[in-house]
């Protein structure tokens, strides 16, 4: 049985309509991200620039009591960093690379979000010689390593 080109294209379009949303290469479909940061933090601005360069629409909210924001969003104290972001149903804590955020959006794991504890040298927004660091996927009662990075690249 042969199908026409038109039937093949229609079948492909029907399958594509039900495929999960992928953010891997389509910056126009990236959801907005809201970053809460201390008004005096310059590395947070560097991370915001990293996100914008990666195509994320970013809104910045300044706050002097970030601890309350982190507690409200479920960020464990030992994973805390200098800024906290919200994107869709997820929290992004610290200098998480944009490619890890895109992966999170593509995979949609059951989790609160991603964190890069502390402020690793050379991570997105931070200066200095890049060092290796881990991105942690965290939930209320669980954690796992979501990748190892140097600068903004997986290693």
- How does pLDDT run across 73-108, given as a tens digit for each residue? 999 999 999 999 999 999 999 999 999 999 999 999
The set of residues, in sequence order, having a beta carbon less than 8 Å from that of 88 and lying 6+ positions away, is 31, 105
- How does pLDDT run across 104-154, given as a tens digit for each residue? 999 999 999 999 998 999 999 999 999 999 999 999 999 999 999 999 999
What are 85's strand-pairing partners? 35, 92
| Residue at token pair 């609160």 | 112
Tell me the pTM: 0.81
For residue 127 the two structure tokens come to 């200066």
118 conformational bin, left if phi > 0, alpha if psi -120 to 50, beta if neither:
left
């Amino acid at each position: 049985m042969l199908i026409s080109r038109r039937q093949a294209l229609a079948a492909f379009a029907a399958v594509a309509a039900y495929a999960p949303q992928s953010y891997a290469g389509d910056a126009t479909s990236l959801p907005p991200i809201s970053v809460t940061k201390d008004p005096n933090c310059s590395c947070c601005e560097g991370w915001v620039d990293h996100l914008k360069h990666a195509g994320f629409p970013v809104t910045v909210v300044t706050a002097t009591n970030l601890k309350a924001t982190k507690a409200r969003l479920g960020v464990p104290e030992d994973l805390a960093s200098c800024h906290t972001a919200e994107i869709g149903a997820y929290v992004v804590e610290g200098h998480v690379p944009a490619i890890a955020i895109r992966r999170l959006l593509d995979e949609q794991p059951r989790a609160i979000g991603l964190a890069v504890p502390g402020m690793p040298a050379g991570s997105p927004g931070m200066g200095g010689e890049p060092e290796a660091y881990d991105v942690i996927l965290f939930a209320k009662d669980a954690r796992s390593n979501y990748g190892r990075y140097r600068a903004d690249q997986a290693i």
